[in-house]
A and B are shown apart, each in its own frame.
Chain A
Amino acid sequence: MRKRRSKYALNVSVIILLVILLITLNSLSLAYKDVAGLPFKSINSTIIVQRNGNVPENMTGVVLSCSSAPIGADYLSKVKGVDGVKDISDGLLLWVFDHDNFKRVFGVNWNDGFGRGIVSEISVGSAPQTSSEVLVDKAYADHYDLGVNRQVSVSGVDFRISGIIESSGKNVIPSDVYVPLTSAQTLAYNSRNLQATERFSETDVNVVFVDVDQVNLKQVSQKLNNILSVGQSTGGNTPTGQVIGSYSIYTPTSFENQISSVFKLSDQLTLILSLIVPIGAILIIANSSSHTLLERRREFGIMKAVGFRNRDIQQVVFSETLLQVLIGYVAGLILSFIVIALLARTTVSVNVPWEVGGYPHFLLPNPNLAGTVLTYLLPISFQVTYALLSGAIVVAIGLLTTMILARRINGLKAMEVLRYE
């Protein structure tokens, strides 16, 4: 009896393991995909478009963030006209090399989707009401001892700080100072260095946020790529030497590769899972079959001798298998729930491509660190779908096991077993 109990315990353990692997790894894989989309939630969009341009010879005064190029109204209208695009927001990201410090300045339209996202992150103060009011990132404000109602100077133009936001580590394109878009456009238009590098019109922007339904994402992304690439040559070189195309289109899919290496494992683990599931199933079947046939042949022979029909024995075996499957499944569900609850307390980092919201590489010791790192709580949750899927798989394993045993039980002759064993 002890021997059989240990075999039952092994079967139940294998089922528990299968359920945990199926639910947890698939949920992890789903979370991994969701993580890639999180940076886009803060900008109320699903696609970021930038045009790639030239790098200024001298990093002085106001320049476009490297290596972006101006995007004019004609391009904006092309983007707006693509089927599936719900809304667009635009902005102008500038690098400002003032005599005493460097700052990233983002021109924002407070009323569009991106602007509303920025305003919603104000922790102190209020949204700018005039063209001379700005928001300042908390890290920058702390470093330069700035606060609400204080002045911040951008290329010689003074702005009043109306609020402080915490964008660092949250926003896909973080900045130090968020100014009204028109004010940023004026700063850019008046910059000689910028105009010497790229021809900038006073209504140009250099970042476009496109809001698209998730289902249309791939199609729209492809259409944007086709439309914007027509007649364009390469855009230039990144500060790290990479040749880049005339446009860069970033989607959650393109961010998946930027997720920390731990999460890259999840796809590999899911792949391994697809191997473990059948192997686990084979283990259960092999274990139960050998257990039944080698150790229970005599028992089944006795049952037949005292009046059990084949179907009566099959019912006994089915009940035993069902009980093991049920115990294993319920225990697996509970343990999966606990594992997922623990995983949900971990954080995951997303490295935003340098070109999206990079920091001047020459101001950092390592150019590879110039990209933005965003940190999120792992968006993993217990998925009922996977619970049902794992349930279906273990039931199938149970049925398969019972079917195989049923065939063998049918072929068992009571006296052959009792005579020779």
Chain B
Amino acid sequence: MSDLITVKNVSKTFVKARAVSNVSLTVKDGELLAIQGASGSGKTTLLNLLTGLEQADEGEILFDGENITSMNEDQLALFRRGHVGIVFQFFNLIPTLNVVENIALPLFPVRMARDDMLNRGKVSAEKVGLSHRLDHYPNELSGGEQQRVAIARALIVDPKVIFADEPTGNLDEKTGGMIFELLKNLNKNRDLTIVMATHDQSIAAASHRIIKLRDGMINNE
């Protein structure tokens, strides 16, 4: 497997705390990577740096050879739209859009007929088993269903990698297990790279590789 992401000596400091400190790592293409650590260890910040949602103070991040740390805000938005799917712990769906509209959201800025956009949304919904919930709104869905919508939204741009921040953290054990199975299948069947922050030991154990963070630094690899 070739290197998809290369992180070199990346640091990020917030007002009072150094959230990520001199982190270097690589993510292989097609890999299922778990980033593990206690609350406040820097998992989410590291993921945000990898997605370009946060700008690194030091170091550089190469995505498929392209340095994303030198990109401006608009370039990063296009980078995310083109290559990256993001799944959040709290789903982050837009309450005023229904399921298929939420899934198709990343395509809204693309010049595309609305029907084509929604058709792609339906295809993406099928992949996560939500074809029967297309017209429902987020507040009409269970937590597991909302996370499936978020995964379908991440898949719609046909990304090279999905970054998932505690994707099972807000779900019960059974539902969390089903969501992880879904991500695992996407990794296995579609050769999709998945980088996942989790504090769940069993989920981390089922990944190809685990990176442990402690106080913003890699503890062991």
Contact = CB atoms under 8 A, between A and B. Distances in A.
Interface of A: 1, 4, 298-299, 301-312, 315-316, 414-415, 418
B138 to A, nearest CB: 11
Interface string B9-53: 000000000000000000000000000000000000000100101
A306 B73 contact: no
B105 A306 contact: yes
B95 A1 contact: yes
Contacts of A302: 92-94, 105
Given A4-B96, A418-B92, A309 B54 contact: no
Contacts of B94: 299, 302
A305 B96 contact: no
Interface residues of B, number: 26
B73, B77, B84, B86 — most chain A CB neighbours (10 Å)? B77
A32 to B, nearest CB: 47
Contact of A306 (B74, B81, B95): B81
7 contacts: A299-B94, A305-B86, A306-B86, A307-B106, A311-B74, A414-B53, A415-B54
B51, B53, B80, B84 — most chain A CB neighbours (10 Å)? B53
Contact of B108 (A1, A312, A415): A312
A110 B81 CA distance: 86
Interface string B105-130: 11011000000000000000000000
Contacts of B51: 305
B48 A304 contact: no
Given A414-B53, A415-B54, A309 B78 contact: yes
Nearest to B73: A310
B166 to A, nearest CB: 13
Prevailing SS type, chain A contact patch = helix
A303, A305, A310, A315 — most chain B CB neighbours (10 Å)? A305
Contacts of A4: 96
B88 interface: yes
A244 B200 CA distance: 101
Contacts of B84: 307
Contacts of B105: 302-303, 306
A307 B48 contact: no
B48 A415 contact: yes
B93 to A, nearest CB: 8
Nearest to B85: A306
Contacts of B88: 305, 418
Contacts of B92: 298, 301-302, 305, 418
Given A1-B137, A415-B48, A306 B106 contact: yes
A307 B157 contact: yes
Contact of A305 (B80, B95, B137): B80
A307 B74 contact: no
A319 to B, nearest CB: 11
Contacts of A307: 77-78, 80-82, 84, 106, 109, 157
A316 B78 contact: no
A304 B108 contact: no
A309 B95 contact: no
A301 B92 CA distance: 9
A303 to B, nearest CB: 7
Nearest to B82: A307
Contacts of A298: 92
B153 interface: yes
Nearest to A5: B96
B77 A304 contact: yes
Given A302-B92, A302-B94, A308 B108 contact: yes
Interface string B69-107: 000011001101110101010001111100000000110
Nearest to A304: B77
A1 B137 CA distance: 10
Contact of B74 (A303, A309, A415): A309
A308 B109 contact: yes
Contacts of B82: 307
Contacts of B78: 307, 309
A316 B96 contact: no
B107 to A, nearest CB: 9
B51, B81, B93, B96 — most chain A CB neighbours (10 Å)? B96
In the complex, the 8 A-B pairs of residues with the closest C-beta atoms, listed nearest first:
A307-B81, A312-B109, A306-B106, A309-B77, A307-B80, A1-B96, A309-B74, A415-B53
Nearest to A300: B94
B137 to A, nearest CB: 7
A197 B137 CA distance: 94
B129 to A, nearest CB: 21
A303 B104 CA distance: 11
A77 to B, nearest CB: 78
Contacts of A303: 105
Contacts of B53: 305, 414-415
Contacts of A311: 74
A44 B158 CA distance: 80
A1, A306, A315 — most chain B CB neighbours (10 Å)? A306
A316 B105 CA distance: 12
Contacts of A310: 73-74
B136 to A, nearest CB: 12
Contacts of B74: 309-311
A353 to B, nearest CB: 64
Contacts of B96: 1, 4, 299
A414 to B, nearest CB: 5
Contacts of B95: 1
A308 B77 contact: yes
A414 B95 CA distance: 17
